[in-house]
Amino acid sequence: AQTVTQSQPEMSVQEAETVTLSCTYDTSESDYYLFWYKQPPSRQMILVIRQEAYKQQNATENRFSVNFQKAAKSFSLKISDSQLGDAAMYFCAYRSRDQGAQKLVFGQGTRLTINP
Amino acid sequence: DSGVTQTPKHLITATGQRVTLRCSPRSGDLSVYWYQQSLDQGLQFLIQYYNGEERAKGNILERFSAQQFPDLHSELNLSSLELGDSALYFCASSVGIGTLAGNEQFFGPGTRLTVL
């Protein structure tokens, strides 16, 4: 079974600075998807960024980018120019490409605080 | 707004009772997923339905059951409720079960269940 680990329960960063959230995962599959979800105080789960394991190029969405290291099974999220609205819980998630295993497997989450 | 709706938003009930949570997927989405978010267990996959049929099961208790109706809405039934069932229950939907476009899951706002 796949597992996802986020070793940083809490992180904080100054507004406008850059912060990196860590995520490692364990799988025996060679092809899969990785995601970062944001959960603000409203509790809504919002997809931030997605990475397909067969793509070597790291995904980027505006101020959000990932560092995907397949051999190390590492998938970190970098937030540049942090804004107050980035304050939230961030969850790393894994999903198999197997059509019979579409569930998301989540890490424990990292609570990000933005200091003004 | 993800396009996934869940009712009710909040539910307070007593131990031993039975409740039904409802989810309407995005228009055109055939697959529905249920997740439970609790303080001690984190975010866990419960069950997936695709076009009315059960597709995958996760850590779903025998006291819990779900179904997807012909109009594609889904209901999660929780019975013989215990204090530990208090959690945020999310429904998510996706287009289908293929690998096309990563088959992104869109989350509803969740139903917060409190068992007293």
Whether B33 and A47 lie within 8 Å, measured CB to CB = no
* Closest CA relative to residue A70, chosen from A94, A99, A38, A100: A94
Q: Are A48 and A39 in contact (CB under 8 A)?
A: no
What pLDDT digit, counting tens, does each position of A11-44 carry?
Answer: 999 999 999 999 999 999 988 999 999 999 999 9
**What amino acid is encoded at B75 in this protein?**
E
* Band (B104; pLDDT cuts 50, 70, 90): confident
Task: For A54-79, write each residue's pLDDT tens digit.
Answer: 888 999 999 999 999 999 999 999 99
Residues 6 or more apart in contact with residue B14 via CB below 8 angstroms = B81, B115, B116
| Distance in Å, alpha carbon of B77 to nearest chain A alpha carbon | 20
pLDDT of B26 reads 94
> Is residue A101 pLDDT above 90, yes or no?
no
Mean pLDDT on B65-92? 97
Residue B109 CA to residue A116 CA, distance in Å, equals 28
Rounded CA gap, A22 and A15, in Å? Answer: 19
Q: At residue B102, does pLDDT exceed 80? A: no
Angle ∠(B69,B112,A40) on CA atoms, nearest 5: 110
Q: Which of A103, A104, A105, A106 to mutate to test the interface with B (most CBs of B within 10 A)?
A: A103
Q: What local confidence, expressed as pLDDT, does residue A79 receive? A: 98
CA A91 to CA A88: how far, in whole Å? 10
B56 min Cα distance to partner chain A (Å): 7
pLDDT of residue B98: 61
Taking 90 as the threshold, does the pLDDT of residue A1 lie above it? no
Question: By a Cβ cutoff of 8 Å, what residues of chain B touch chain A?
Answer: 2, 31, 33, 35, 42-45, 48, 55-56, 58, 88, 90, 92, 94, 97-99, 102-107, 109-110, 112
- Angstrom distance (rounded) from CA A73 to CA A29: 11
> pLDDT category, B100, cuts 50, 70, 90?
low
Put simply, the answer to whether A103 touches B33 (Cβ < 8 Å) is: yes
Q: Encoding tokens for residue B88?
A: 């945020």
Nearest CA in chain B to A53: B102
In the predicted model, what is the mean pLDDT of residues A45-52?
94
Phi then psi for A92, rounded to 5 degrees?
A: -90, 140
Residue B6 is which amino acid? Q
